Homo-oligomer: A and B are copies of this chain.
Amino acid sequence: MSEPYKILVAGGDMRQIYCALQLAERYDVSVTGFDSSYTKKLKNAVLSENKYDCAVFPVVPVSDDGFLSTPCFSDKIRLSDIADSVRKGGLVFSGLDGEKLSDKFADCEIVNYMNSEELNIRNAVPTAEGAVQTALEELSVTLSGLKVLIVGMGRTGTALTEILKGFGADITVAVHSHKGTANALLHGVKSIYTKDIGNDYGLVFNTAPSMVFNRYMLSRFDSSTLFIDLASKPGGIDFNSAIELGIKVIWALGLPGKTAPVTSGKIIAETIDEIITERRKQYV
Residues on A close to B: CB < 8 A? 14, 18, 117-118, 121-122, 124-126, 129-130, 132-133, 136-137, 139-145, 155, 158-159, 162-168, 177-179, 181-183, 185-189, 259-263, 270, 274
Contact = CB atoms under 8 A, between A and B. Distances in A.
A162 B183 contact: no
Number of this chain's copies in the assembly equals 4
30 contacts: A18-B140, A118-B178, A118-B179, A118-B181, A121-B179, A121-B186, A124-B186, A125-B142, A125-B185, A129-B143, A129-B167, A133-B136, A136-B136, A136-B259, A140-B263, A141-B260, A142-B260, A144-B185, A155-B186, A158-B186, A159-B186, A162-B188, A164-B166, A165-B165, A166-B167, A166-B188, A167-B188, A168-B185, A168-B188, A178-B274
Contacts of A186: 121-122, 124-125, 155, 158-159, 162
A162 B179 contact: no
Nearest to A178: B118
A122 to B, nearest CB: 5
Nearest first, the 5 A-B pairs at minimum CB distance are: A166-B166, A168-B188, A121-B182, A133-B136, A118-B178
A118 B18 CA distance: 40
A33 to B, nearest CB: 20
Contacts of A177: 118
Contacts of A137: 133, 137
Contacts of A185: 121-122, 125, 144-145, 168
